[in-house]
Amino acid sequence: MDERPLIGIMVSNRRSRKRILNLCLRYQNLNIKLYAFTPTDIQWNKKRIIGLSLKKGKWTQSLFPFPHAVYNRCYNKKPINIQHFEALIGKNKCFNTINFFNKWDLYNQLVQSNLEPYVPDTFLYNEVNISELLNSYKLVYLKPIYGNKGASVYRVEIMENEDIHISLHSLAPRYICRKNESIQEKLDELLGPTTYIVQQGIPMCQLDHQYFDVRVLVQKGITGEWAISTITCRVAHKRYFNTSMCEHIYNVDEVLPRLFSQEKVNDILQSLRDVSIKAAQEAEIHLSSLGELSVDFAIDIESKLRIIEINGMPQKSIYNDIKNFKYKKIIHCRPLEYAYYLSQS
């Protein structure tokens, strides 16, 4: 009889099973048994799951018992059948059940914590007057409340001649609203029925005149505690503000020393670690059991850190573009270590 803990990886569709499972198997060295499945593969009445696993070098689909812990890799706004799972395998044995984060809810969680100084002022679009905000901040960003990968993020800036430039991805304005035109009407037309937040624009530090952000990947591992797995910088294309469409991605230690003294670099790195762990803890208070997320920061022109956003299912493929990347094993193995930890608790 196989005594190894049985770990399930829940993915959104059957096409994803082999790819995600393959990555997990390649980097893990735990004494566990892994299989991948989709929500529709769960046979609740039989208490069985149709899963894909690797047996003696061959991909095999078969019926499995319910796992001891579940690593959710579906992109969810709401938990999938989590109450059913918890009734059968135990409370909090399925993690990342919500990983498509509501930016407004998370802002309110962070701003009530001691991370408030790191969070740009943020508002619900339909509750504010954009002209008044532009007079205060000069620059704001409009983001879908459930956006990801920088999609549909608008940069809105009031110029010295009082024209308002509206940009999408690049700094070049896609629309120009003259000072006698209604910016609110134009934005209402552009944004449609989607719920947006408005975020105070941060005058960002740049690398060779290019925008960049800092992404901290925070994961739980074998001890069940949050830990920093890697810190990287995404550098946008020239004349672009959207770092999700990045030209380069570097380890953080390749970028910060080009901009700051070593003493300042050490301070920034320590703050990145401390703030990211605290942000993960705060997100978990609001969203229940989590095992990984990333925190994206801007560094402003006064060298202060600002949290741009928190992502519930960080893209790990971006790390493939880093030369001599040392943390590939860690980023893929840690969630499985956490699943193992949950299976033993």
Residue 182 and residue 44 in one domain: no
Domain containing residue 44: 6-95
User: Does residue 229 fall inside a structural domain?
Assistant: yes
Long-range contacts of 102-107 (CB under 8 A, 24+ apart): 102/77, 102/145, 102/146, 103/143, 103/145, 103/146, 103/147, 103/197, 103/309, 104/145, 104/195, 104/197, 105/286, 106/283, 106/286, 106/309, 106/310, 107/197
Residue 190 and residue 210 in one domain: no
pLDDT (tens digit, 0 to 9) for every residue of the chain, 345 residues total? 567 899 999 998 999 999 999 988 888 888 899 999 999 999 988 989 999 999 988 999 999 999 999 999 988 777 666 677 777 787 788 899 888 899 999 999 999 999 999 999 999 999 999 999 999 999 999 999 997 776 789 999 999 999 999 999 899 999 999 877 789 889 999 999 999 999 999 999 999 999 999 999 999 999 999 999 999 999 999 999 998 888 899 999 999 999 999 999 999 999 999 999 999 999 998 887 899 999 999 999 999 999 999 999 888 888 988 888 889 999 999 999 999 999 998
pLDDT at 187: 93
Specify the pTM. 0.94
pLDDT at 80: 64
Residue 109 and residue 211 in one domain: yes
pLDDT at 207: 94
Q: What is the CA radius of gyration of the chain?
A: 22
Give the closest residue to 287 by CA, choosing from 312, 253, 255: 312
Structural domain count of the chain: 3
User: Does residue 333 fall inside a structural domain?
Assistant: no
